[in-house]
Structure 1
Amino acid sequence: MTLRPLIGLLGVLVAALNAEFNELVMSTALTDVRGALGISHDPGLWIESVYASGLAFGMALAPWLAVTFTLRRFTLFTVWFTCAVTLAIPFVPDLPMMLGLRALQGLGGGFTIPLLMTTALRVLAPPIRLYGLAAYALTATFSPNVSSSIAAFWTDLVDWRFVFLEALPLGAVASVLVSYGLPQDPPRLERLRQFDWRGALLLAVGAGSLTTLMYHGDHQDWFNSDEVRILAMLCVIAFPLLAVNEWYHPLPLLKLQMLKRRNFAYGVVGLFLFLVVSLSASLVPQTYLASIQGYRALQGHWITLLIALGQFLMLPAVAVLLDREWADARAVTLCGLTLIVTACLGSALVDASWNREQFYVWQSLQMIGQPMVVLPLLMIATNAVQGPAEGPFASALINTTRSLAAPVGTCILELIDRFRGGLHSERLVDQLGQMRFRPELAHGFLPGNAVPISPDGTGAGAVRIAQAVKTQADVLTAADTFLILSSFGLLLALLVLLLPVRTYPPRILFAKH
Structure 2
Amino acid sequence: MVDIKPLFGLGGVLIAAMTSEFNDQVTAIALIDVRGALGISHDPGTWIQSLYVWAEIVGMAISPWLAMTFTLRRWTLFAIALCGASGVLIPFCPNVEAIYALRLLQGLAGGLIIPLLMTTAFRVLTPNIRLYGLAVYALTATFTPALAATVTALWTDIVDWRIVFFQPIPLCSLAGVLVWYCLHQDQPKYERFRMFDWRGLLLLVIGTGALSTMLYQGDRLDWFNSRLICVLALVSALAIPLLLANEWFHPLPLLKLQMLGRRNFAYAALGLFLFSIISQSGSAVPLQYLQEVQGYRPLQSNLITLEIAALQLVMLPAMALLLDYKQVDSRMVSLAGLGLILASCIGSSFLTVYWNRDQFYLWQLLQAIGQPMVIMPLLLMSTNTVTGPAEGPFASALINTSRAMAEAASAWSLELINRWRNALHSSRVVDEIGQDRWRVIQGNGVLPQYPAPLTPGGRPRVPGSLEAFGHAVQQQVVILSTSDTFLILGALSVFLMLVVMTLPVRTMPPRIHFATR
So what's the TM-score if we normalise by structure 1?
0.97
Residue number in structure 2 paired with 1:28: 29
Residue number in structure 1 paired with 2:56: 55
Deviations 1:268-316 (A, max 9, x none): 0000100000000000000000000000000000000000011000000
Residue number in structure 2 paired with 1:462: 466
Residue number in structure 2 paired with 1:503: 507
Q: Which amino acid aligns with 1:369?
A: G
Q: State the SS of the aligned residue for 2:312.
A: helix
Query: What is the Cα deviation at residue 465 of structure 1?
Result: 1.9
RMSD, matched Cα: 1.4
Distance in 2 (alpha carbons) for counterparts of 1:440 and 1:268: 57
Matches within 5 A, 1:280-299: 280-299=281-300
CA contact under 8 A between 1:383 and 1:503: conserved in structure 2?
yes
Query: What is the Cα deviation at residue 441 of structure 1?
Result: 8.9
Residue number in structure 2 paired with 1:79: 80
Distance in 2 (alpha carbons) for counterparts of 1:70 and 1:401: 24
The correspondence for 1:475, drawn from 475, 479, 490, is 479
CA contact under 8 A between 1:421 and 1:473: conserved in structure 2?
yes
Q: Which amino acid aligns with 2:466?
A: A
Residue number in structure 2 paired with 1:274: 275
Matches within 5 A, 1:57-456: 57-436=58-437, 440=448, 445-446=453-454
The correspondence for 2:497, drawn from 481, 493, 499, is 493
Distance 1:250 1:467, change over 3 A: same
Q: Which amino acid aligns with 1:203?
A: L
Q: Which amino acid aligns with 2:63?
A: A
Deviations 1:161-209 (A, max 9, x none): 0001110010011011111111110101101111100000000011101
Distance in 1 (alpha carbons) for counterparts of 2:95 and 2:488: 39
Q: State the SS of the aligned residue for 2:295.
A: coil
Distance in 1 (alpha carbons) for counterparts of 2:102 and 2:185: 31
Query: What is the Cα deviation at residue 406 of structure 1?
Result: 1.2
Deviations 1:102-124 (A, max 9, x none): 01110011000100000001110
Equivalences, count: 505
CA contact under 8 A between 2:17 and 2:113: conserved in structure 1?
yes
Query: What is the Cα deviation at residue 442 of structure 1?
Result: 6.3
Q: Which amino acid aligns with 1:510?
A: F
CA contact under 8 A between 2:274 and 2:496: conserved in structure 1?
yes
Distance in 1 (alpha carbons) for counterparts of 2:56 and 2:450: 49
CA contact under 8 A between 2:451 and 2:464: conserved in structure 1?
no
Query: What is the Cα deviation at residue 462 of structure 1?
Result: 2.5
Q: State the SS of the aligned residue for 2:505.
A: coil
Deviations 1:313-349 (A, max 9, x none): 0000000000000000000000000000000000001
Distance in 1 (alpha carbons) for counterparts of 2:134 and 2:266: 18
CA contact under 8 A between 2:309 and 2:368: conserved in structure 1?
yes
Deviations 1:88-135 (A, max 9, x none): 111111111100110111001100010000000111000000000000
Q: State the SS of the aligned residue for 1:512.
A: coil
Distance 1:433 1:442, change over 3 A: farther
Q: State the SS of the aligned residue for 1:16.
A: helix
Q: Which amino acid aligns with 1:446?
A: L
Q: Which amino acid aligns with 1:434?
A: Q
Q: Which amino acid aligns with 2:347?
A: G
CA contact under 8 A between 2:344 and 2:364: conserved in structure 1?
yes
Matches within 5 A, 1:28-47: 28-47=29-48
Distance in 1 (alpha carbons) for counterparts of 2:224 and 2:470: 31
Deviations 1:234-288 (A, max 9, x none): 1110111001100111100000000000000000000010000000000000000
Residue number in structure 1 paired with 2:444: none
Query: What is the Cα deviation at residue 16 of structure 1?
Result: 0.3
Structure 2: stretches of 5+ with no match in the other structure: 441-446
The correspondence for 1:484, drawn from 463, 488, 493, is 488
Q: Which amino acid aligns with 1:465?
A: F
Q: Which amino acid aligns with 1:479?
A: S
CA contact under 8 A between 1:343 and 1:365: conserved in structure 2?
yes
Q: State the SS of the aligned residue for 2:465.
A: helix
Query: What is the Cα deviation at residue 440 of structure 1?
Result: 4.5
Q: State the identity %.
A: 55
Q: Which amino acid aligns with 2:5?
A: R
Deviations 1:382-403 (A, max 9, x none): 1011111000000000001110
Query: What is the Cα deviation at residue 422 of structure 1?
Result: 1.1
Q: Which amino acid aligns with 2:502?
A: L
Query: What is the Cα deviation at residue 81 of structure 1?
Result: 1.0
Q: Which amino acid aligns with 1:160?
A: W
Query: What is the Cα deviation at residue 443 of structure 1?
Result: 6.7
Deviations 1:435-472 (A, max 9, x none): 33755596774379xxxx9xxx9x95232122111111
CA contact under 8 A between 1:446 and 1:465: conserved in structure 2?
no
CA contact under 8 A between 2:449 and 2:464: conserved in structure 1?
no
